[in-house]
């Protein structure tokens, strides 16, 4: 593969954006001699070695996950034909396993919360801070400070708010005695919401930084023009700024979706992702990487997560391709 690939290599020349059309072919030929044989080998290695690891450690396992999902392998001994049980794992996942639908529901709730609450707040803060606000740097620093913290640390910092007897919230509410305390992280009808608040603390700042960067690159002349035409600030944002920010909007939707599907750390640090905090991600590890060793079953959950993840991933790749063409 390296050999065939290296034959097609030519330096990108001024004015050419890819390898299409007759002019590009002529250019390729013209500059062919500039690259020595050694150069081509070096370039092939520069891409080939990292690509090998990318395929071996990410895409290979992705495919093996799919294969595993059709087996009842428990991780002991090898896999033989006898282990293949068709769609049985999926069948019991959908019909018998009590945690699958709740976990999927929790992931979707996670997504909805981030998408319709946390992300808009982040965008809103970015829009506010993009105006001439005094001390804007200080506000920005405060809002994105949580972004540098790990989700594990965030889980612990928020457990100081939620702890039943020693936490801030219950102390403020006066609900710390045994008969009236609110078990924010232990009660399965509350702990998901508690985790969502904690995760939003970070997500809002993250989205704010990204959106602010986009707004900074926004052409102020457009805004001025809208103002001259008598548009209000809200109208300007809705009809001028927001549409122009389309590429950033796509990135933000993709990032928000991916974050919701990846959710794991906070749930795991709170209670191992059980008892109301089941997520697809924690079901995978709790089935396939625990003592029960249900490798095949856990992999079936991984495949479901993969299929859902392909949505935002394809959206992102489509954007990349569109930009590449321009």
Partner 1 sequence: MTVAATVRPAESAHRRRRIRPRRLVLYGFLSAMALVWLFPLVWAIYTALRPYSDTQAHGYISTPSVLSIENFTNAWNQADFPRHYLNSLLVAVPAVIVTLIVASMVAFAVSRFSWRFNLLVLMLFTAGNLLPPQVIIVPLFRLYLLLPLPRLLSDNGLVYDQYLGIILINVVFQTGFCVFVLSNYMKTLSKELTEAALVDGASVFRIWGAVIMPLCRPALAALATLEFTFIYNDFFWGLILMKSGDKRPITSALNNLQGQFFTNTNLLAAGALLAAVPTILVFLALQRHFISGLSLGASKG
**Site residues (CB under 8 A) for partner 1, limited to 258-287:** 258, 261-262, 264-265, 268-269, 280-281, 284-285
Among 134, 178, 189, 243, binds partner 1 (CB under 8 A): 134
Task: At 26, give phi and psi (nearest 5°).
Answer: -60, -45
Residues 222 to 251: which contact partner 1 by CB under 8 A?
247-248, 251
Residues 150 to 189: which contact partner 1 by CB under 8 A?
150-153, 155-161, 163, 166-168, 171-172
Question: CA geometry: angle at 140 spanning 138 and 142, to 5°?
Answer: 70
- In the complex, what is the shortest distance from the CB of residue 237 to partner 1, in angstroms, rounded to a whole number? 14
- In the complex, what is the shortest distance from the CB of residue 96 to partner 1, in angstroms, rounded to a whole number? 20
The total number of residues written for the chain in this structure: 326
Size of the site for partner 1 (CB under 8 A): 117
- What torsion do the CA atoms of 199, 200, 206, 209 make, to the nearest 10 degrees? -160
Burial 218-241 (b: 16+ CB within 10 A, else e): eeeeebeebeeeebeeeebbeebb
The answer to whether residue 5 forms part of the interface with partner 1 (CB under 8 A) is yes
In angstroms, rounded to a whole number, what is the distance separating the alpha carbons of residues 84 and 87? 9
**Residues with Cβ within 8 Å of residue 142, at least 6 apart in sequence:** none
The answer to whether residue 39 forms part of the interface with partner 1 (CB under 8 A) is yes
Long-range contact set of residues 236-239: C-beta below 8 Å, sequence gap at least 24: 237/127
Nearer to partner 1 by Cβ, of 130 and 187: the residue is: 130
- In the complex, what is the shortest distance from the CB of residue 57 to partner 1, in angstroms, rounded to a whole number? 5
Nearer to partner 1 by Cβ, of 90 and 316: the residue is: 316
Residues 67 to 126: which contact partner 1 by CB under 8 A?
68, 75, 125
User: Taking a C-beta distance cutoff of 8 angstroms, is the pair 65, 59 a contact?
Assistant: no
The answer to whether residue 195 forms part of the interface with partner 1 (CB under 8 A) is no
Among 21, 23, 26, 55, binds partner 1 (CB under 8 A): 55
Among 21, 32, 59, 190, binds partner 1 (CB under 8 A): 59
Question: CA geometry: angle at 237 spanning 231 and 240, to 5°?
Answer: 75
């Amino acid at each position: 593969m390296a050999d065939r690939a290296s034959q097609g290599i030519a330096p990108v020349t001024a004015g050419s954006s890819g390898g299409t059309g007759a002019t590009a072919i002529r250019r390729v030929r013209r500059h062919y001699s500039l690259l020595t044989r050694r150069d081509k080998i070096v370039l092939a290695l520069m891409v080939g070695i990292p690509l090998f690891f990318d395929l071996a450690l990410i895409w290979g396992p992705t495919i093996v996950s799919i294969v595993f999902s059709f087996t009842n392998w428990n991780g002991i001994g090898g896999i033989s034909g006898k282990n293949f049980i068709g769609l049985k794992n999926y069948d019991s996942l959908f019909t018998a396993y009590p945690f699958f639908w709740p976990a999927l529901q929790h992931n979707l709730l996670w997504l909805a919360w981030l998408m319709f609450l946390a992300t808009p707040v982040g965008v809103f803060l970015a829009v506010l801070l993009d105006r001439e606000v005094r001390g804007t740097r200080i506000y920005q620093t405060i809002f994105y400070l949580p972004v540098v913290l790990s989700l594990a640390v965030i889980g612990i910092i928020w457990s100081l708010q939620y702890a039943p007897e020693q936490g801030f919230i219950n102390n403020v509410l006066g609900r710390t005695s045994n008969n009236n305390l609110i078990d924010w992280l232990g009660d399965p009808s509350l702990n998901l919401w508690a985790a969502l608040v904690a995760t939003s603390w970070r997500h809002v700042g993250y989205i704010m930084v990204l959106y602010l960067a986009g707004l900074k690159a926004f052409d102020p002349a457009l805004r001025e023009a809208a103002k001259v035409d008598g548009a209000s600030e809200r109208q300007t944002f809705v009809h001028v700024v927001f549409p122009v920010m389309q590429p950033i909007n796509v990135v933000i939707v993709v990032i928000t979706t991916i974050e919701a599907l990846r959710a794991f750390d906070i749930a795991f640090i709170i209670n191992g992702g059980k008892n109301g905090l089941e997520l697809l991600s924690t079901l995978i590890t709790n089935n396939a990487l625990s003592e029960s060793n249900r490798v095949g079953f856990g992999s079936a959950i991984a495949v479901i997560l993969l299929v859902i993840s392909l949505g935002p991933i394809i959206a992102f790749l489509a954007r990349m391709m569109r930009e590449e063409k321009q």
